[in-house]
Structure 1
Amino acid sequence: MRETLADWRPAVDEAIADLVPREINADYLESLFGSPTYEYDPDGIQRALSTPLWELLDRGGKRWRAILFLVFIEGFGEDPAEYLPYACIPEILHNGTIIVDDVEDGATIRRGEPALHHVYGRDIALNVGNAMYFLPLKVITRDPADLPADRKLATYEMLMDELNRTHLGQGMDICWHNEREVRVGTEEYLEMCACKTGCLGRIVARLAAIITGQPPEVEQAVATYAELTAVAFQIGDDILDVEHSLGRAGEFGKEFGNDIREGKKTLMVIHAIDESDPDRASRLQDILEADENTDDEILEALEILADAGSVEYARERALALAADARVAIADLEFDAETTRKLEEFTEFVIERDE
């Protein structure tokens, strides 16, 4: 799977650059947004949109959503190269959500460098993030694959449905972050993940199915696969935050003990509070509810998670979700190579080290 990611990433970045060039000029603005009523300011739009976007993209990220989309396209018997513009849709949406998410969470670090709102200001960061919710729709408007009208409409409707659910998940996460004393159950946490992270995965799969004209049962099967895999990815992301902070993983690109500092209700936290003795559970809750923590307090919280077996528990839940994802597509008639890639991907999202 790592080879697939490495092979396709340059092509994905080129496709993104076709939609949002690194250098903005008046001709581009007119071609994408229409003639100005008066006059565009390409330099201002460059500084407020393209430069921040490409700074974030150039920091890293594996583009796995775009590349998973291309794997599905190939599995459905189409040439992935012909659908590269559509691969931009989930990738740009994802990066837009993390820019806004960083502002909402008050995050300091993203991909090893200051979060964009610390570099360009909250106003520019929010505008860039919000623009990235809408720019991908231009791909459908341009319609490079010349889709039938019913598929274009189905694509728009799907995106609106999934993006609305994404904001439900983010709303739950924000509420839990702001009201740190709130107790969250495992099922609520998984639902938050299914909305916030899972819906972006579902967009990947449903987009590939819709634009290639797959029947509803196939669209549902790949959507289930992608949602389950994305939830496993989120749990794996939470595990990486803990293991990085405990010195067990490579450079992760986030602040030390980031999730604990933010008081996040992760699957590991929920498990540790349920499984620890009352004093340690109360202590973990106190650390999570505090507005600020020392590094020693962060380490104390991490040790409570480790002692409760919560990291292992979360990994087992993620592995179970990955197994369910593989079951979801077991009856689809993919070729052996596509099946291998999709199965490997469910393992990659959990076992990656960065």
Structure 2
Amino acid sequence: MFLTEQRETQMTAGRQGKANETITPHDPRRTTDSAPGAPRAGRLPGPHQHSAAPAEPRRAQDGRSGYTAQALERDIDHLYPELPHPETTRDLLPSTGTEILLPETARRLHGRLHAALITPVRQTVDHGGRRWRPTLAATVVEALGADSRPYGPLWAACELLHTGSLIIDDIQDGAPLRRGRPSAHLEHGTALAINAGTTAYFSMHRAIRQTLPDDPRLRSRVYETYLDALQAAHAGQALDLQGHHEEMSVALTTGDTTVVRQLVAQTHRLKSGAPVAAVFRIAALVAEADPAQCDALAALGEAVGTAYQITDDVADLRGVSRQGAATKRVAEDLLNAKVTYPLVRALARMPQDEARQLWEQVRSGLDADGAARAARRIADCGALDECADEAHRMVYDAWKKASDRLRPSPSGRSLGALCAEVLHSRIA
């Protein structure tokens, strides 16, 4: 098992702006083909031992705390309230005309929009989720020496639009469970869930209007960043929906998995890396970071998002549960005949005949028992450890470059630790 050994190596600060880091070196019982000097298994900046709670935010100069979990829940409730509210209707509609409606008509309008657009997303949010995207966004602002609290709606929108994408993903993947509960499309119907999920993408638009009303230049840059990421994520989803079966078949014929591996990695980078990169860049923009800082932090966000998707592929094969209950089907990707990063890595490590046999079984369709056996074969060949190593190296390398652009501070160290924890808690 990986990421369970008690092992730590201290790296001291180098150039100005580089905070002290604690990384976990590679287990000496295993070998890997990583480049000399590259971090190895478990090897992320920040403390390896980390509680489930977010790091304490930077304290503002006035002595008050920075952006808190309670503030995030408040801002989510403001954008997506639990009960219908006229203000939400006005915020959802560009020009409501509700002033000419009878009171009963207005009441029904508020209720119907809430039931169709707010409730499916709000229920999915309330079913769980680690809220790491808004936490990291706020920490980026704090690490740059600014106060993250005035931009709370932006961080809440990060969580809401992510939730909307999950609703759409579950429809397209035919997933019956999300966070241990029936997926939104099973509770509310597919058509309504599609509409609610895509509407959640506009929560960032609503948050920008509320947060940056008097700064058109900054607002324009934030919009551009967000729309670029939204476009990239849809391109990544297009690749994901098409799958990579043709490239996998070619790889098994030639014995070279490079092309299919790069395509899967690019899919992850577009679908999962680009949105987190945008979150980090938006946080840097509102903190008035310089262009080099914006670029380095966006690269860190892309690395975290991409690496998280790789570890999500790993977690899918191991099973994901909360309080002893499964939150999704084990090996769901294999059941859907999906080409994932661990599968590609596994087939590259197996003898060609064995790899071809495994892929034919996956492509032909597996039942639950068959998927469990295939998952064990993938784990036994070392592919899951290899994927975890690569994910950690990806974030570690990006963090080294980003930390060089930050002044030493507790918030800077928290940012590194939280990036580490995003991956560690997923696959530990």
Above 0.5 in TM-score? yes
Q: Secondary structure at the match of 2:243?
A: helix
Q: Deviations over 1:286-339 (max 9, x none)?
A: 232134x22221122112202221111111111111211211212112332122
Moved more, 87-96 or 156-165: 87-96
CA contact (8 A) 2:318 2:330 kept: no
- Please give the residue correspondences for 1:64-83 in structure 2 after superposition, counting only pairs within 5 Å: 64-83=132-151
Q: Deviations over 1:42-88 (max 9, x none)?
A: 22112212221111011100111111111011112222222111112
Matched, 1:328 2:378: no
Matched, 1:150 2:217: yes
Change beyond 3 A, Cα 1:113–1:180: farther
Q: Secondary structure at the match of 2:72?
A: helix
Counterpart residue number, 1:345 = 418
Shift of residue 30, structure 1, vs aligned partner: 2.5
Counterpart residue number, 2:26 = none
Structure 2 counterpart of 1:240, which letter? A
Matched, 1:166 2:216: no
Q: 2: distance between equivalents of 1:146 and 1:49?
A: 24
Q: 2: distance between equivalents of 1:301 and 1:339?
A: 42
Shift of residue 180, structure 1, vs aligned partner: 9.4
Change beyond 3 A, Cα 1:28–1:311: closer
CA contact (8 A) 2:248 2:260 kept: no
TM-score of the two chains, using structure 2 as the length reference: 0.76
TM-score of the two chains, using structure 1 as the length reference: 0.91
Matched, 1:3 2:49: no
Greater gyration radius? 2
Aligned length: 350
Q: 1: distance between equivalents of 2:179 and 2:291?
A: 37
CA contact (8 A) 1:228 1:325 kept: yes
Change beyond 3 A, Cα 1:10–1:284: farther
CA contact (8 A) 1:325 1:346 kept: no
Change beyond 3 A, Cα 1:252–1:220: farther
Q: Deviations over 1:141-174 (max 9, x none)?
A: 22x3555211111111111111101111111110
Moved over 6 A (4+): 177-181
Correspondent of 2:370 among 258, 275, 297: 297
Correspondent of 1:137 among 205, 209, 217: 205
Structure 2 counterpart of 1:170, which letter? Q
Q: 2: distance between equivalents of 1:321 and 1:111?
A: 27
Q: Secondary structure at the match of 2:344?
A: helix
Q: 2: distance between equivalents of 1:135 and 1:346?
A: 25
CA contact (8 A) 2:269 2:306 kept: yes
Change beyond 3 A, Cα 1:302–1:32: closer
Moved more, 280-289 or 130-139: 280-289
Higher helix share: 1
CA contact (8 A) 2:316 2:332 kept: yes
Q: 1: distance between equivalents of 2:300 and 2:155?
A: 18
Counterpart residue number, 1:281 = 355
Structure with higher RCO (Cα < 8 A, 6+ apart): 2
Structure 2 counterpart of 1:36, which letter? G
Structure 2 counterpart of 1:209, which letter? A
CA contact (8 A) 1:66 1:87 kept: yes
CA contact (8 A) 1:201 1:227 kept: yes
Percent identical pairs in the alignment equals: 26
Matched, 1:241 2:312: no
CA RMSD of aligned residues (A): 2.4
Matched, 1:269 2:269: no
- Unaligned 5+ segments in structure 1 are none
